[in-house]
Structure 1
Amino acid sequence: MKIERIETFVVPPRWLFVRIEATGGIVGWGEASLEGFAEPVDAVFEALRDRFIGADPRAIEDIWQIGYRAGFYRGGPVLMSALSGLDQALWDLNGKLNGLPVWRMLGGKVRDRVRAYAWIGGDRPDEIGEAAAARRAQGFSAVKMNATAELGRLEAPRVLDEVVERVRAAQAQGLDVGLDFHGRVHRPMAKQLARRLEPLGLLFIEEPLLSENLEGLAQIGQLTSTPIALGERLYSRWDFKRVLTSGVVDIIQPDLSHAGGISEVRRIAAMAEAYDIAVAPHCPLGPLALASCLQLAACTPNLVLQEMSIGIHYNVGADLLTYITNKDALSPVDGHLALPEEPGLGVTIDEAAVRAAAKEGHRWRNPVWRHADGGFAEW
């Protein structure tokens, strides 16, 4: 058996799908989405085609090792996102070849479902309350929201009061809340904010500082018992190694479309388990990314939560369920997602819809914000 074709599809709203076809017409799909950088990730597949057209698609680990190591230059979001999509597609193909969901090939399940959470937005407490009520109506019991607008290095105390009010508005709807600082809060304000939020009983605070600032994160950790989460901007087990050994994090959030796919995040999760650190994969992406996360959730003891982006349309008329025909596979019930039972990743791609959408493509870019003084603000 050989890989005969590797195709990529840039589709709205901001995703990059990967299709691998092997001998006999068996097909696997993956997702190499890297928000704002679809074009460079797509370009990596020129090198991956040269390497792997003609390779045995059953040799998932060998392909992963060559994809990571044979190019000499390793790691980073672009290369690892491409490898992630390739890896997911190989697992999907092999699951279909063997008539098994991926989680069965990874050792079998340790749970029957996984708790999911969705994002809410809003600047004012009333807007947050309405968004939280809508998520509760969808069946969610947990949500994540941005902590703040783009804070400067020093702000008036009333700004912190506004954060607390917004969190309470979501909690008033009966929801558990995780708060994403998004790395946009600098240390002088992050220290104050972490302490102010302590009594609210949050699920976690995410990226209270950027993950490269481990010294500052350690200081934040001394000020609060709220679990600290991070990891969406880390791309391999070597990136996570320093974070795990530092003791500053309680929940890691690797993205299965950025951090080497199912194969690598499986290893990262096992490393985290040795440090008694939980896993909650980052996934504001498409259906193949989420389906890959569910395969990991099935067989990973320390996985606790799963992010998902259902109902977010990005103003382009496409959302999580647009390109799949078995929409129930990724629809939450009572705030949880069921584990896929179908072979491979467990979702059925509407290939005609994908090919039609790829003709339009997208040029999605991260927005740019500025502080009141005109200086650049972290997204």
Structure 2
Amino acid sequence: NKPVYKLLGGQVHERLRAYTYIYPRPGDTKDVYHDPDLAAERSAEYLSQGFTALKFDPAGPYSAFDGRQLSLEALDLCERFAKSLREAVGMKADLLFGTHGQMTAAGAIRLAKRLEPYDPLWLEEPVPPDAPEEMAKVARATSIPVATGERLTTKYDFARLLRAGAAAILQMNLGRVGGILEAKKIAAMAEVDHVQIAPHLYCGPIVGAANIQIATCSPNFLILESIETWGGFHTEILKSPIRFEEGHVIPSTAPGLGVELNEDVARANPYTGDMLHLEMTQHPVQ
């Protein structure tokens, strides 16, 4: 009859600062992932919902053949995104620059130099995740904190990152690293090196709830990934919704994960697609 965080050292944080991707909306006539003006306009909406951090990912597709050098056009678009968003949010929100390992270390350093004037909170997974020593080259060459970890699967992977000095922020995904206890071990390893955690989320509210448990009991927690304000279908599929207030998630005091799946809603909405998530292309990207 206790929440998981009570069993893993107790509650450290009463509120968890959250961020969201800048998402497309029905009726958009432009692609918010590729139009910096629309992204800047949408950022104002998220600020009005209380968010103080926004993530965006304009660097283009990633492939089985990465890392690579981004084209001049892609570099320019990335810089225009950072500039437009910084002008739109001012000092009211952090900017989180997302990538998916598209670049070589040299290419990521070129991009980072363009982004530094806009002071992002992080540069995410700038090189493929199998090369922490290369990622460390990026970390040493830029003032932007490097964040990574969404595609890693074991505490041993994260130990390599820490030994290499490759990241300031670890983004383990609890649906991929072996669950809550393994994630707690990763968080504890990071704490020893004064590295922070920002649990990653590309799943739904069940993994989201597990992330909340780890974040609540971890002294080195930085920020939590949310899917907007956990409204809509993510409210319907839980018997009690995740509590979101003024840009923060409020940890539940309910037992276990703090949420309960509404299985009737789940059965009524079977997944009929054939994609698991973002999928890397199987041909080189120029």
* Runs of 5+ consecutive residues of structure 1 not aligned to the other structure: 1-98
Look up the equivalent residue of 2:208 and give its one-letter code.
L
Q: Is the 8 A contact 1:278 1:304 kept in 2?
A: yes
Matched, 1:144 2:23: no
CA distance in 1, matches of 2:41, 2:138: 31
Aligned residue in 1 for 2:263: 351
Partner of 1:169: 84
Other-structure match for 1:118: 20
The Cα of 1:247 is off from its aligned counterpart by 0.9
| In structure 1, C-alpha distance between the alignment counterparts of 2:273 and 2:193, rounded to whole Å | 40
- Work out which of the residue numbers 114, 128, 144 in structure 2 matches 1:226: 144
Q: Is the 8 A contact 1:285 1:308 kept in 2?
A: no
Specify which of 89, 105, 108 is matched with residue 7 of structure 2.
105
Q: Which residue is equivalent to 2:27?
A: none
Residue equivalent to 2:25: none
1:239 correspondence with 2:157: yes
What's 1:128 paired with? 39
Moved more, 146-155 or 189-198: 146-155
Residues 149, 172 of structure 2: 8 Å contact kept: yes
Distance 2:238 2:251 in 1: 16
Q: Which residue of 2 aligns with 1:56?
A: none
Aligned-pair CA distance for 1:108: 1.3
Q: Give the equivalent residue in structure 1 for 2:284.
A: 376
Contact 2:97 2:122 in 1 (8 A): yes
Q: Which amino acid aligns with 2:136?
A: A
Maintained 8 Å contact 2:68/2:102: no
Structure 2: how far apart are the matches of 1:158 and 1:355?
A: 45
Counterpart AA for 2:77: E
Q: Pick closer, same or farther for the CA change 1:227–1:154 going to 2, 3 Å.
A: closer
The 5 A counterparts of 1:200-349 are: 200-310=118-228, 319-327=233-241, 330-349=242-261
Going from structure 1 to structure 2, the CA distance change for 1:149 and 1:357 (only over 3 Å counts) comes to same
User: What pairs with 1:25-44 in structure 2 (closer than 5 Å)?
Assistant: none
Structure 2 counterpart SS, 1:276: coil
Scaled by the length of structure 2, the TM-score of the pair is 0.86
Deviation (angstroms), 1:139: 1.8
**Maintained 8 Å contact 1:284/1:308:** no
Matches within 5 A, 1:45-194: 99-120=1-22, 121-150=32-61, 153-154=68-69, 157-174=72-89, 175-194=93-112
State the distance in 2 between where 1:349 and 1:334 align. Answer: 25
Q: Taking structure 1 as the reference length, what is the TM-score of the superposition?
A: 0.66
Q: Which runs of 5+ in 2 are unaligned?
A: 23-31
8 Å Cα contact 1:178-1:204 kept in structure 2: yes
> For residues 168 and 278 of structure 1, what CA distance do their matches in structure 2 show?
26
Verify the 8 A CA contact 1:122 1:131 in the aligned structure 2: no
Distance 1:351 1:257 in 2: 19
Pairwise CA distance, 1:179: 0.4
Look up the equivalent residue of 1:205 and give its one-letter code.
Answer: L
**What secondary structure is seen at the aligned counterpart in 1 of 2:38?**
helix
Report the aligned-residue RMSD.
2.5
State the distance in 1 between where 2:285 and 2:97 align.
18
CA positional deviation for 1:155: 5.0
For each residue in 1:258-281, what CA deviation from the matched residue of structure 2 results, as whole angstroms up to 9, or x when unmatched?
Answer: 111111101110011111110001
**Match of residue 9 from structure 1:** none
**Pairs aligned (count):** 270
Query: Larger Cα Rg: Structure 1 or Structure 2?
Result: 1
Q: Which has the higher helix share?
A: 1
Identity within the alignment, % = 33
Question: Whose strand fraction is larger, Structure 1's or Structure 2's?
Answer: 1
Q: 2-side partners of 1:264 and 1:288: how far apart?
A: 17
User: How far is 1:334 from its partner?
Assistant: 1.3
Q: Does 1:197 align with 2:115?
A: yes
